[in-house]
Structure 1
Amino acid sequence: MTDGVPTSRRALLGGMAAAGLVATMSTNKAVAGPTAITYSGPTIPLWPGKPPGAPANLPVRKVEQRSTDAAFDDRWITGIASPSLEVRRPAYADGSAVILIPGGGYGFLALDNEGEEQARWLTERGVTCFILLYRLPGEGWANRATVPLQDAQRAVRLVRARVGEFGIDPKRVAVLGFSAGGHLAGSLATRFDEVVYTPVDSADQLPAHPDLAGMIYPVVSLSAPFTHAGSRDNLLGKGASEAQRRAGSVETRVNGRTPPVFLTASSDDGLVPIGNSLALYNAMLARQRPAEFHGFDKGGHGFGVRLPDSIPAHVWPDLFHACGKRHGIFMA
C-alpha cells in the first residue's frame, strides 16, 4: 500500500494509461480464500429488458476478489450486462438520497472501496444510498461514449420515480463519484438534459438533474495533458478525435444550470492529477456556479474511506456531508 492506496489498483490503473487491458480482465487472478460479505438491500434493474445498444452477445459478469482477508471485501466487477441500483437503507432516513458511482477507469467497478464502504458511513447519517452498477463502454455496447451516461441519467430518474417507496425528497438527490466514477458524476451534472437514449417508460419524463455532485479524486478532462488516458480510451475508444475528447471533458460542459459541485483530490495523486479537479473548479467559478474544492498534500489515488487519521484527507466525508447540509441535501 502506498499513500493509503492499494498498490495493485495503482499498478493496474496506471497500466491502463498505456494499454486498455482492464476491459479484458478475468477472474484468473482472483485471490482464493475470502468469502464475500453479505449485504442486504433490494436491487433495482435500470432497464426493462436489454439496455440500449445491447450487443448480440452480452458481457458475462465477473467478480475479482482482491482481498486476502475473509472479513474484508475488495471486489472488482466487469461484464455488467444488466446495470442496476443496489439499495442500502438507513435505520432512520433523513429524506436524502445519494447515488454512489464507483470508479475503475471505465474498465471495471471498485464495488466495495467506492460503493459499499461509502454507503456505510452515509447510511449511518440517515442517507438512503443507491450503488450504481453501470455498464462498461468497452464491452460491446453501441454508442460507447454515452453508455455510462445513459445508465446514470436513468438511475437518477428511477430514484425520483420511487421516492414514495424510500421516503426521499425528490429535490434532495445527490451523486457521489470516484475517479472515473467522478467523471461520470460530473458528466451527469453537466449533461443531465442531453438526450442519450430513447425513453422507455414514465420514469424517463422525470429530471435527471442531480441536486449536488460530489467528485472524489475525479477524472475530469479527456483532452488536457493531465487526463487519465486509460479512462479516456476505455470511454471513447483509442484514436478518438480532439473534438470527441473535448466533448467528453466535464470542464467544457459547465453552464448556468450545473448544480453545486464538491471536489476532493490530493496533490500526490500520480494517477489522476489534481489538475483535473482544478480545471473543473475554475470552470465552475468562471460560470459563477457553486463549487467547493478541497486539495490535500497527501492521499494518493483510490483512497475511498481507507486513509488513516494521520493523513488529513481522511476527513473528506465530513466535508462532503457538511457541504450537503449547506445546500439543503442532508439534515442529520
Structure 2
Amino acid sequence: MLIRSLTLLLCPILLAGNPTNGFAQEVQITPDVVYGHKLGLAMTCDAFTPTENANGAAVLFMVSGGWYSGWTAPEQSQALFRPLTNKGFTVFAVRHGSSPRFSIAEAVADVRRSVRFIRTNAARFHIDPERIGVYGMSAGGHLSLMLGTASDEGSTEAKDPVERASDHVNAVVAFVAPTDLRIMAQDAPDRLPAYDRFPALEIDQKTAAKDSPLLHVSADDPPTLLLAGVKDELVPIDHSRKIHAAFGEANVESQLIEYPESGHGFQGDDAQKAIEATVDWFQTHLTK
C-alpha cells in the first residue's frame, strides 16, 4: 500500500517540481537523522531543508502505508516534498518500526518520539519548535491524526531530554486516513476481508480503541485537514466524515475535502488539487 500511495501522488508532484519549469528550489538533504533507538536499532528520518527562503516551519511526513515503513534513497523521494520545500518548509520524512515486526501502538510511540526529537533539536534544524505540522497517507494519515489528537507535554521526570519535550503538533493533514481502528479489528462484526492482508490489524477492538484518533478528539487539537475519496473501498469515507463531525463538536478547526471519483489514492486533477490544498493548509497555519 505504501508504494501504491506514493506512486499515485508522485506523478503530479514531479510535474510541479520539474526543474525545466523554473519552479524547483534546491534543498539540503540530511539523510538518516537518528531520532531514537530501540532493540539495538536506530530510528531515522531524512531532512529536506530549503537552501533559500526557508520559512522556519517544519512539516513531518509519515512514511507509512498499511503501517509498513520502508527506506527510500532521499534523492529519489525529494520530488514528493518539492511542493512544500518550494514554499520554504523544512520537511522530515519519518520512518517508524514497521509491521509485521512492530505493532501500530509501537509505530505511534515512534512517531511521537520523532516530534519530540525534532522539537528538542529545533535550533539545529533552524526551525521554530512551535510551528510543526504533520501529514501522511492511509496509515500515515492515521499516525498524523494520532499526533494531532493524542499528544502530551512530555515527562518532566524523564532522564532523556527528548522525552521531556512535547509531541504536540500545530497543524495536520490526513489523506484517506483510518480514524476508528475498532471496525478494522479482528473481532469487528463487519470487518472488511481486505484487512486480512495487514498484520498490523491482527488486534482486537479493545486494543484498537487505544490508537483510534476518533476517540481522542478534544478541544485543544490542532487545525486538521481531511482528504478522502468517496469511492474508497479500503478505508471508507465514513472514517473521515465521523472524525470531521467530532472535530466540529469539539470546536476544532477542521475541513473535509471529498473527491467523488477517487478511491484509496488520488490521481490526475484530484491528486494535484489535494497537494495544493495540503500546501495551502500548512501555509495558513504554520507561516507567520
Q: For 1:258, which of 221, 228, 244 is the aligned residue?
A: 221
Q: Partner amino acid for 2:199?
A: N
Offset of residue 105 of structure 1: 0.3
TM-score by length of 1: 0.68
Let me know the Cα RMSD of the aligned residues. Answer: 3.1
1:109 to partner: Cα distance: 4.0
Aligned mates of 1:194, 1:222 — CA distance in 2: 25
Partner of 1:128: 90
Alignment-derived partner of residue 275 in structure 2: 317
Quote the residue 2:208 is aligned against. Answer: 245
Does structure 2 retain, via aligned residues, the 8 Å contact 1:262–1:291? yes
Letter in 2 for 1:205: R
How far residue 233 of structure 1 moved from its aligned partner, in angstroms, is 5.5
Other-structure match for 1:98: 59
- In 2: Cα distance, 1:320 partner to 1:9 partner: 19
Residues 135 and 174 in structure 2, CA contact (< 8 A), matched pair in contact too: yes
Q: Does 1:235 align with 2:193?
A: no
Distance 2:71 2:230 in 1: 22
Deviations 1:17-74 (A, max 9, x none): xxxxxxxxxxxxxxxxxxxxxx942321121xx41xx3xxx7xxxxxxxxxxxxxxxx
Q: Which amino acid is 2:175 matched to? A: I
Q: Does 1:179 align with 2:138?
A: yes
Give 1:65's aligned residue. Answer: none
Q: What are the residue-to-residue correspondences of 1:149-298 with 2, within 5 Å?
A: 149-193=108-152, 199=158, 201-224=160-183, 225=190, 230=195, 234-235=199-200, 238=202, 240-298=203-261
**Corresponding residue SS for 1:174:** strand
Alignment check: 8 A CA contact 2:64 2:136 kept: yes
Q: Secondary structure at the match of 1:132?
A: strand
Task: Judge conservation of contact 2:136–2:143 (CA < 8 Å) in 1.
Answer: yes
The change in CA–CA distance for 1:122 and 1:228 in structure 2 (over 3 A counts) is farther
Structure 1 residues 165-200: Cα deviation after superposition (integer angstroms, max 9, x where no partner): 22211111000111001111111112212879x946
Residue identity over aligned pairs, in percent, reads 24
Hey, which of these two has a bigger chunk of strand by percent? 2
Shift of 1:212: 0.6
Residue type of the partner of 1:175? V
Give the 3-state SS of the residue equivalent to 1:125 in structure 2: coil
TM-score, normalised with respect to structure 2: 0.78
Structure 2: any 5+ residue segments left out of the alignment?
6-27, 184-189
Cα–Cα, structure 1 residues 152 and 200, in superposed 2: closer, same or farther, change >3 Å? farther
- Any idea what SS the aligned residue of 2:228 has? strand
Return the match for 1:86 from 17, 27, 46.
46
CA gap of 1:150–1:282, structure 2 versus 1, over 3 A, is same
In the alignment, what sits opposite 1:46?
35
Q: Give the distance between the partners of 1:218 and 1:138, measured in 2 at CA.
A: 19
CA contact (8 A) 1:101 1:115 kept: no
The DSSP-based 3-state class of the residue aligned with 1:255 is coil
Looking at structure 2, the residues matched to 295 and 221 of structure 1 have their Cα atoms a distance apart, in angstroms, of 18
Shift of 1:275: 1.4
Shift of 1:246: 2.3
Deviations 1:142-178 (A, max 9, x none): xx34211111111111111121122211111000111
Maintained 8 Å contact 1:226/1:272:
no
Q: For residues 235 and 147 of structure 2, what CA distance do their matches in structure 1 show?
A: 19
- Asked whether the 8 Å contact 1:101–1:133 carries over to 2, the reply is yes
Contact 1:178 / 1:215 at 8 angstroms: preserved in 2?
yes
